[in-house]
């Protein structure tokens, strides 16, 4: 492919990876994403008693997008087809909680049928996965990432707002049994909330032989309550794992990898540390995102997005769509500015963007 046939930006980064949010809705109310519960409000209130808006406010700070604005599976598949004609070959289905949307397996089937996507994965909170796992596997899903922030039933409920621990544990074992591997597990580490579980999560990874990815808390919560003090730096996460289990560095699998990778214990299990706040990896970023309502975001922290619905819904040709995608990607921002004076938190929370 020549440069004019790929998705390339002014910083010479070539986009290969599309995160597709298929719904902004979710059945969880994670403290770091869609905080709504009294406990979430309490957590933030205790950090900064005078400043935080959650002092009075515990309602969901987000309204779901109207259904008419949500892309159909046909529209999503077309977007992926057009993007893959420009060299994109990796797709992750996400949300919100993607498994809340009906018939996800039919979307997976359509994407697989394109024959252009080498790596098709899905991220889920695990509540509906046990019911759908077999169908997703049969439809052609290659692998899954599940979220698990705590191994303690009560703390899990405090963080996510729901009693979902058993479902996630069942999902992890089922994903392994079905060969949806490597099974990756995401844990967002937040100081004062689950950082005391870093060691236990690492031990769990060894016991289950999985990839445990510990992620720094990013300012993408709908309540806009994020503070730098909540972030446990990746370097500290690593030290705290090392205090429990021997680790050894693993080579990057590709240049755009977000996680620093470490083998855990005897080498079967893996630790990934994703540190976008303290060790940004924007220079190698090869990702863009498609929101459930059809907007392209060229960065997690974009403050401008590009609505492709008009083109998708007014009979525009694939060529026109491809040209628009190239124009949008060309202007991808150099990187996020967390911690700098000019930083502005995006309007959408992680659930609305698609993590
Ligand atoms: N609902 C699904 C889930 O939770 O797995 C998929 C969507 S969720 C937005 C995708 C990932 O983003 C999850 O692993 C979640 O932990 C992570 N996430 C959400 N908000 C975050 C934040 N503020 N900082 C870091 N990671 C976050
Ligand atoms: Fe829902 Fe996932 Fe956000 Fe939690 S992180 S509220 S499960 S979208």
- For 31-88, what is each residue's pLDDT tens digit? 999 998 888 888 888 766 555 554 444 456 678 999 999 999 999 999 999 999 999 9
Check: CB of residue 144 under 8 Å from CB of residue 183.
yes
Cα–Cα distance between 24 and 349 in angstroms, integer? 9
Q: Of the residues 212, 292, 350, which should be mutated to test ligand 1's pocket, given the most ligand atoms within 8 Å of the CB?
A: 350
pLDDT at 60: 63
pLDDT at 55: 43
Ligand 2 centroid – CA 4 distance (Å): 37
Question: Measuring from atom 12 of ligand 1, which residue has the nearest CA?
Answer: 355
**Ligand 1 pocket, residue 124 CB under 6 Å:** yes
User: What are the φ/ψ torsions at residue 20 (nearest 5 degrees)?
Assistant: -110, 115
| Other Cβ atoms within 10 Å of 83 Cβ, number | 27
Distances (CA, A) of 107 to 104, 115, 124, 354: 5, 14, 15, 17
Ligand 2 centroid – CA 188 distance (Å): 11
Cα–Cα distance between 262 and 312 in angstroms, integer? 42
- In angstroms and rounded to an integer, the radius of gyration of the C-alpha atoms of the chain is 20
pLDDT at 87: 97
Cα–Cα distance between 30 and 45 in angstroms, integer? 16
- The pLDDT averaged over each successive group of 10 residues in the chain (355 residues) is 82 96 96 90 73 50 89 98 97 98 98 97 98 98 97 97 97 97 97 97 97 96 92 98 95 84 91 94 91 96 94 95 97 85 87 90
pLDDT at 50: 54
pLDDT at 271: 97
Cα–Cα distance between 278 and 275 in angstroms, integer? 6
Q: What is the pTM of this model?
A: 0.94
CATH code, 302: 3.20.20.70
Q: Half-sphere exposure (CA, 13 Å, Cβ side) for 215?
A: 17
Cα–Cα distance between 125 and 355 in angstroms, integer? 12
Full residue range of the structural domain in which residue 319 is found: 3-353
Both structure tokens of 63: 């309204």
Tell me how many domains the chain contains.
Answer: 1
Cα–Cα distance between 222 and 242 in angstroms, integer? 33
In the chain, helix, strand, coil percent, each to 5? 35, 15, 45
Q: Which ligand neighbours the alpha carbon of 223 most closely?
A: 1
Q: In sequence order, what are the residues at sequence separation of 6 or more whose Cβ sits closer than 8 angstroms to the Cβ of residue 145?
A: 92, 121, 122, 123, 124, 183, 184, 185, 186, 213
Distances (CA, A) of 16 to 2, 10, 11, 197, 276: 15, 15, 15, 34, 19
Q: Of the residues 19, 23, 31, 33, which should be mutated to test ligand 2's pocket, given the most ligand atoms within 8 Å of the CB?
A: 33
**Ligand 2 pocket, residue 350 CB under 6 Å:** yes
Per this entry, what is the length of the chain? 355
Whose structure tokens read 């079905």?
178
**Ligand 1 pocket, residue 54 CB under 6 Å:** no
């Amino acid at each position: 492919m020549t440069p004019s046939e790929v998705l390339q930006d002014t910083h010479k980064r070539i986009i290969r990876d599309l995160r597709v949010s298929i719904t902004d809705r979710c059945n969880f109310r994670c403290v770091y994403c869609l905080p709504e519960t009294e406990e979430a409000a309490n957590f933030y209130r205790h950090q900064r008693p005078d400043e935080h808006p959650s002092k009075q406010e515990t309602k969901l700070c987000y309204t779901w997008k109207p259904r008419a604005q949500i892309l159909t599976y046909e529209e999503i598949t077309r977007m992926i087809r057009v993007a893959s004609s420009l060299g994109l070959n990796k797709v992750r289905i996400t949300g919100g909680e993607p498994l809340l949307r009906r018939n996800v397996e039919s979307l997976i089937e359509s994407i697989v049928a394109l024959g252009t996507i080498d790596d098709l994965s899905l991220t889920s909170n695990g509540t509906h996965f046990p019911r759908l796992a077999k169908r997703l596997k049969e439809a052609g899903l290659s692998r899954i990432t599940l979220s698990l922030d705590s191994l303690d039933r009560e703390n899990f409920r405090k963080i996510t707002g729901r009693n979902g621990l058993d479902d996630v544990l069942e999902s992890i074992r089922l994903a392994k049994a079905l060969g949806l591997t490597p099974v990756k597990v995401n844990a967002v580490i937040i100081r004062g909330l689950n950082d005391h579980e870093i060691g236990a999560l690492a031990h769990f990874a060894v016991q289950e032989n999985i990839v445990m990815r510990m992620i720094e808390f990013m300012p993408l919560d709908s309540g806009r309550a994020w503070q730098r003090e909540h972030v446990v730096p990746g370097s500290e996460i690593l030290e705290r794992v090392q205090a429990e289990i021997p680790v050894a560095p693993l080579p990057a699998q590709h240049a755009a990898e977000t996680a620093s990778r470490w083998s855990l214990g005897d080498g079967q299990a893996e630790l990934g540390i994703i540190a976008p706040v303290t060790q940004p990896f924007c220079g190698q970023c090869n990702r863009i995102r498609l929101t459930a309502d059809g907007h392209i975001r060229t960065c997690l922290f974009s403050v401008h997005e590009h609505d492709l619905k008009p083109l998708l819904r007014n009979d525009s040709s694939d060529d026109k769509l491809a040209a628009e995608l190239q124009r949008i990607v060309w202007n991808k921002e150099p990187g996020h500015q967390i911690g700098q004076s000019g930083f502005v938190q995006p309007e959408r929370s992680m659930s609305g963007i698609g993590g």
